[in-house]
Amino acid sequence: MMNAQIMKQNIRQYIVAVRQQMAGEERGRLSQAIAARIASMDAYRNANTVLAYMNFGAEFAADILVQQALRDGKRVLLPRVNRSTNELDIYQVTDLLRDLAPGMWNISEPLVECCARVNTLEEVDFILMPGVAFGRDGARLGYGGGFYDKLLARLKHHPALVAGAYAMQIVEGIPQEDNDRKVEWLVTENETINCANNG
Ligand SMILES: Nc1ncnc2c1ncn2[C@@H]1O[C@H](COP(=O)(O)OP(=O)(O)O)[C@@H](O)[C@H]1O
Ligand SMILES: [Mg+2]
């Protein structure tokens, strides 16, 4: 049997490469559809505090939803890689032009001098999860840092866990290890999948 880490690495390389082949215009169109689907979910509409992320490369344009959440008057939190702990620190942002600068992997991250650090994550109602590939059962493949697996392990409550991804990122048979955490909802341009129904 092939090692789970090797299988994960193969899927990462393949999906990242194919995703990169999509035209920018197409990615933008699909991202608008995904963001609109997420914004219409009860879990999003009922959320006061949203933890999201800023996309990089050819990822689903999560920044559309970050902007929308600010416009909707939600409390918006974004992660910043802490290079000494190798975990995600969470900050509240209010003004994306002022509060963000390129950080790890050139991803826009909150500036510590502009943003309040949020230590009590109990108030997070909704988490937008990034990822490279997802299964219909909610299995999630990240970039290999385990950042979100570690973040979710810190939580003592159960916020809504939602991933936005292009339909081409759905892969069946993603290896799952003990630390891997599934998403509850997987939203593509075509469908809003309740992963709990597919366990
Ligand atoms: N809760 C956790 N505590 C400690 N290490 C963890 C935890 N969750 C994940 N990791 C570690 O992070 C690394 C990457 O995890 P992996 O699931 O392969 O990456 P990703 O989730 O980014 O696809 C693994 O070595 C894994 O053991
Ligand atoms: Mg994982």
Q: How confident is the model at residue 1 (pLDDT cuts 50, 70, 90)?
A: low
Which CATH number goes with the domain that contains 84?
A: 3.40.50.10420
Q: Whose CA is nearest to atom 27 of ligand 1?
A: 179
Pairing of strands 126-129, 116-117: unpaired
| C-alpha to C-alpha distance for 102 and 110, rounded to whole angstroms | 9
Q: What is the distance in A from the centroid of ligand 1 to the CA of 177?
A: 9
Over residues 14-37, the pLDDT tens digits come to: 999 999 999 999 999 999 999 999
Residues ≥6 apart with Cβ < 8 Å to 19: 57, 58, 59, 166, 168, 169
Q: Whose CA is nearest to atom 5 of ligand 1?
A: 150
How much is the pTM? 0.97
Task: Give the domain range for residue 58.
Answer: 4-198
State whether residue 162 is helix, strand or coil.
Answer: strand
Q: What pLDDT, on the 0 to 100 scale, is given for residue 133?
A: 98
Q: What pLDDT, on the 0 to 100 scale, is given for residue 197?
A: 86
Q: How many domains does the chain have?
A: 1
